[in-house]
Amino acid sequence: MRAVIQRAANASIDIDGQLSGKMGRGLVVLFGVEKGDTLKDLDWIVNKCLEIRVFEDSEGKMNRSLLDIEGELLIVSQFTLYGNMKKGNRPSFNRSAPPDAAIPIYESFVRKCRERLGKIKVITGKFGAHMDVSLTNDGPVTILIDTNQKDF
């Protein structure tokens, strides 16, 4: 599993041309599932996404998490995170899990985030739909997390 985390001042998502949700300060998480991924790493990546300390404390240091600031969360499924540019100029997505394998993992990721965040607003995209994601990347701050690179 792979997640691209962006600290956002605000964000919104349109699904098939219709506004589906918007949020204020928080995180936008683009979430991809690779062939062969299982639920065994799900708790690890959920914890990393929700506990990553990218929000500033009173001294201006990135020392606070989404949980600490009670920020909002937008989660978007993104099979293109596994795009491979090894050959040519057109990406290959053969490392991305097919929908029948990816959807249950994506849905479990969303459910676990909602459980951990409780009353904090969580909005999502729609797996496989055309989505327009708008955000103001605050910082900018963008972090890549990959379950296959836990030692990175």
Instruction: Give the active site residues.
Output: 80
24 Cβ neighbours under 8 A, 6+ residues apart: 9, 10, 71, 72
Tokens of 38: 């299982």
DSSP 47-108: HHHHH---EE-TTS-EEE-HHHHT-EEEEEE-GGGG-B-SSSSSPB-TTBPPHHHHHHHHHH
CA 108 to chain centre: 13
The whole-angstrom separation of Cα 12 and Cα 15 is 10
